[in-house]
Amino acid sequence: MKIKNIVIGGAEAVVIAGPCSVESREQLWQTAASIKSNGAVMMRGGAFKPRTSPYDFQGLGLEALELLREAGDSFDLPVVTEIMSEEQVELVADYADMLQVGARNMQNFALLRKLSKTDKPILLKRGASATVKEWLSAAEYLLEGGNEAVVLCERGIKTFDNSLRNTLDLAAVALVKELSHLPVIVDPSHACGKRSLVSILSKAALAVGADGVIVEVHPQPEIALSDKEQQLTLEDFARMMRDLCEPLPRLVKGERELALCY
Ligand code: PEP
Ligand code: MN
């Protein structure tokens, strides 16, 4: 799948990075410069935010879209941002290179039908309580309606275990790679909700066959307006990119040493 000059689902895994929410020009520029120089190929950033509480930061809306477009062009990073309703489709499509359907909207069939008629690639997140079959059926709405540029994204599901924000379902990633021709990427940030685990889960995602990862990065996560616990600092991101290029640690020591390389 091609988004401008970026290929998702090809020989090389891709890293998409950027803040949970676009908060200011300075925040976005600092992030864009840093992720670009460390090897990210696309940028994410929320303009319209799906928040559990109506009192939480809802995103900068149009201002964020304008900033994303400008930063994306300045740093040569195609941008992906979430679209929450049918009414937003034309507006967001004017600014973004890829449209994200969030977990909460995976089965918003009216939205999917409308997006199936756009010429923009779609990043379709798995619903937090969606089965693999429901997720693929949601993708089918886009394909059937005429938009075949769909990338799937596993972002963690709700399980009995509340130790982390969600449970990252890496088996589903391997399964979907078997069942479908669509590229699959992983969002470890929303899956675990914990900064210290994002890098190793990214590595695990690539080891299991994901076509890339999308991670949240913020110059000062401690003052972020959303998801402060899971956003990587610029330094964390640089370290993660170095770690991703190293082979995994040896798993078994014996007569033959088993090292996993993806
Ligand atoms: C996001 O990527 O900003 C987001 C809200 O993710 P999700 O829909 O997976 O919760
Ligand atoms: Mn977030």
For 125-136, write each residue's pLDDT tens digit: 999 999 999 999
Residue identified by tokens 């699959």 is: 184
23: helix, strand or coil: coil
Q: Which two tokens stand for residue 206?
A: 């690539």
Pocket (CB within 6 angstroms of ligand 1)? 20, 46, 50, 82, 102-104, 125, 155, 187, 190
pTM to 2 decimal places: 0.95
Residue 251's pLDDT is what? 58
24-68 residue pLDDT tens: 999 999 999 999 999 999 999 999 999 999 999 999 999 999 999
Question: Closest-lying ligand to the alpha carbon of 191?
Answer: 1
Cα separation, 125 vs 250, in Å, equals 32
175-232 residue pLDDT tens: 999 999 999 999 999 999 999 999 999 999 999 999 999 999 999 999 999 999 999 9
Give the residue ranges of DSSP H helices in 124-215: 132-144, 170-179, 188-192, 195-207
141-176 residue pLDDT tens: 999 999 999 999 999 999 999 999 999 999 999 999
Question: Closest-lying ligand to the alpha carbon of 103?
Answer: 1
Cα separation, 170 vs 205, in Å, equals 7
Cα separation, 135 vs 34, in Å, equals 33
Mean pLDDT across 98-104: 98
Q: What percent of the chain has pLDDT over 70?
A: 94
Residue 252's pLDDT is what? 59
Angle, nearest 10°, between helix axes 25-37 and 234-244? 20
Mean pLDDT across 15-23: 98
Residue identified by tokens 């956003």 is: 231
Residue 259's pLDDT is what? 55
Residue 125 Cα: closest atom of ligand 1: 9
Residue 250's pLDDT is what? 59
Residue 253's pLDDT is what? 60
Q: Return the C-alpha torsion angle 201, 100, 119, 183, nearest 10.
A: 20
Find the 160 Cα to ligand 2 centroid distance in Å: 22
Residue 246's pLDDT is what? 85
Strands (E), the chain: 2-3, 6-7, 14-18, 42-44, 79-82, 98-101, 122-125, 150-154, 184-186, 212-216
The more confidently predicted of residues 257 and 19 is 19
Pocket test for ligand 1, best of 107, 125, 157, 189 (most atoms within 8 A of CB): 125
Count of all residues that appear for the chain in the document: 262
Residue 155 Cα: closest atom of ligand 1: 9
Count Cβ atoms below 10 Å from residue 11 Cβ, excluding itself.
6
Mean pLDDT computed over every residue of the chain: 95
